[in-house]
Each structure stands twice: as structure tokens, then as C-alpha cells.
Amino acid sequence: MANKGNCKAKDCAREAAGKGYCRMHFRLWKAGEMPKARYKTCTFEKCRKHRHGTSSLCDEHFKAKHGKPAEGAPAPEAAPAEAPAS
């Protein structure tokens, strides 16, 4: 196996495995926990969830602010209708 160099995370000297990161930092990057995440994250304070639609917020924070799902977000499932009591 060719030498890929060292991890590009600050103060890490482990061997790089993916995207220039060692196995631990690559896992953190995939989870969105590195300073430069693999996708755009919600702009709400300390929220690292994936943005939905054209909003800068995740679906949860968009609903809390606007009372409706973000454009392009999956529609909530409809509740099953209850049978009338006899």
C-alpha cells in the first residue's frame, strides 16, 4: 500500500486513510463534527445537522421558526384515521 502521508487534522500525526484524514478524523468528518464538515450544516447555534431545502436551517429549526417544513424537505407522514366508536 502506498504511503498516503499524515492526517491533515491539526496536531495529528496518524497515517491518512480518507480525504487526507486518519481513520478517527475521517469518521468525525463524515459525522459532521470536524470544523469543515462534508455538507452544509444548520446555522442555528451548536447545531450540526444537515440543512434541508434552500434554508440555512435544519428541518427541525426551520419548523420551530416558521411553523412549517422547509421547502424540499420530506413531508411529515399523515396520521392514520381512527375508526368511529360504535
What's the CA dihedral at 30, 34, 39, 45 to 10 degrees?
130
How far is Cα 22 from Cα 20, in angstroms, rounded to an integer?
Answer: 7
Pair (32, 51) in one structural domain: no
Does 44 map to a domain?
yes
pTM of this structure: 0.44
- Choose among 27, 62, 33, 55: nearest CA to 46: 33
Q: Residue 29 belongs to what domain range?
A: 8-36
Pair (26, 46) in one structural domain: no
Pair (28, 48) in one structural domain: no
User: pLDDT digit string (tens) for 28-60?
Assistant: 887 777 777 666 778 777 787 777 777 788 888
Does 24 map to a domain?
yes
Domains: count for the chain: 2
